[in-house]
């Protein structure tokens, strides 16, 4: 009998241990589930980030280097030449020398949108803006290095001219802020409006390219000029709201006329990309992304 009692006691203790373990697992299960869910979300975010970075690098390699270089150069030059205003006979009209490059910026965006799509155009625009900010930083550092500009050697005006050149290349924070915001907003407007107009068109010839480019450029240039004028000119230079709107509109018209002249070149380049299957690897990558829901 003692043997049977020992077995019964051991059996009871075994049941008690099993119940304690099950109870402990039940208490731990919600925490484990939450932890696994959080890790899965983090892994998913990391996968999306890696996929996006891969897309950016592939897009950079897919766009012809000369076009990409001209695009970045046009943005840098446009912002630098914006420091010089154009003398005009009308007080209500104001233009700056950046206009000689701004049409090129938007023409390249139209070409990229036509061939690669609005997403690619937006990505390239943000990439170009980052490069521009880096160059602005280098110019700012250069302006703070002690020394004399070659053009400042004028008797009696050396210091004045040298400081003026330093300020021109060094820039000011509000001009940089205004131009950056204006460019990003207008780039998004131009890319997606151009793409939407292309979707509505039934034909794909030069006429369609011209119409979608002219309309998107006119509106996007107006947005770019207006946003910059409201942020910078209105707050720091004392422009009235009427001056901001009128100058934004007239500047957009002038910039549009420049694109009208050079749009046939942009169309031929975009068509050559299509003919030569430029960016095939990028398109295949985007198909895989879309299939995976990224």
CB atoms within 10 A of CB 243: 18
Percent of the chain residues past pLDDT 90, beyond the cut:
48
- Domain membership flag for residue 166: yes
104 and 57 in one domain? no
* pLDDT of 190 strictly over 90: yes
Helix, strand, coil shares of the chain, percent, nearest 5, are 85, 0, 15
| Long-range Cβ contacts of 207-214 (<8 Å, 24+ apart) | 209/110, 209/114, 209/263, 209/266, 209/267, 209/270, 210/260, 210/263, 210/267, 212/110, 212/114, 213/107, 213/110, 213/259, 213/263, 213/266, 214/256, 214/259, 214/260, 214/263
- Domain membership flag for residue 81: yes
How many Cα neighbours within 13 Å face the side chain of 233? 25
Domain range for 36:
1-63
108 and 244 in one domain? yes
Who wins on pLDDT, 18 or 206? 206
Is the Cβ–Cβ distance between 140 and 172 less than 8 Å? no
- Winning range, highest mean pLDDT, from 33-47, 89-103, 134-148, 155-169: 134-148
- Domain membership flag for residue 235: yes
Q: Rounded to an integer, what distance in angstroms lies between the CA atom of residue 139 and that of residue 181?
A: 20
185 and 270 in one domain? yes
Q: Rounded to an integer, what distance in angstroms lies between the CA atom of residue 23 and that of residue 14?
A: 14
The pLDDT value recorded for residue 237 is 80
Q: Is the dihedral of CA 46, 52, 54, 57 positive or negative?
A: negative
The pLDDT value recorded for residue 8 is 43
216 and 70 in one domain? yes
User: How many domains does the structure of the chain reveal?
Assistant: 2
34 and 147 in one domain? no
The pair phi, psi for residue 86, each rounded to 5°, is -100, 130
48 and 70 in one domain? no
Closest CA to 117 of 199, 218, 223, 214: 199
* pLDDT of 53 strictly over 60: yes
1 and 20 in one domain? yes
* pLDDT of 100 strictly over 90: no
258 and 205 in one domain? yes
């Amino acid at each position: 009998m003692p043997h049977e009692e020992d077995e019964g006691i051991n059996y009871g203790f075994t049941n008690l241990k099993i119940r304690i373990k099950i109870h402990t697992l039940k208490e731990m299960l919600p925490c484990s589930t939450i932890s696994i869910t959080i890790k899965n979300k983090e892994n998913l975010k990391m996968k999306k980030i890696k996929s996006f970075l891969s897309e950016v690098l592939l897009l950079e390699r897919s766009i012809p280097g000369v076009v990409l270089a001209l695009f970045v150069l046009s943005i840098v030059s446009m912002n630098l030449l914006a420091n010089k205003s154009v003398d005009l006979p009308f007080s209500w009209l104001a233009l700056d020398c950046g206009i000689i490059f701004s049409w090129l910026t938007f023409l390249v965006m139209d070409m990229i949108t036509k061939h690669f799509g609005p997403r690619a155009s937006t990505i390239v625009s943000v990439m170009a803006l980052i490069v521009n900010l880096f160059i602005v930083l280098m110019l700012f550092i250069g302006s703070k290095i002690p020394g004399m500009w070659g053009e400042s050697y004028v008797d009696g005006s050396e210091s004045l001219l040298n400081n003026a050149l330093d300020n021109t290349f060094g820039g000011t924070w509000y001009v940089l802020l205004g131009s950056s915001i204006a460019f990003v907003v207008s780039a998004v407007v131009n890319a997606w409006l151009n793409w939407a107009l292309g979707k509505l068109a039934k034909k794909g010839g030069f006429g369609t390219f011209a119409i979608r480019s002219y309309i998107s450029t006119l509106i996007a240039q107006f947005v770019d000029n207006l946003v910059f004028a409201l942020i910078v000119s209105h707050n720091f230079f004392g422009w009235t709201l009427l001056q901001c709107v009128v100058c934004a509109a007239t500047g957009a018209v002038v910039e549009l006329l420049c694109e009208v002249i050079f749009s046939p070149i942009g169309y031929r380049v975009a068509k050559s990309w299509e003919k030569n299957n430029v960016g095939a690897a990028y398109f295949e990558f985007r198909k895989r992304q879309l299939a995976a829901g990224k």
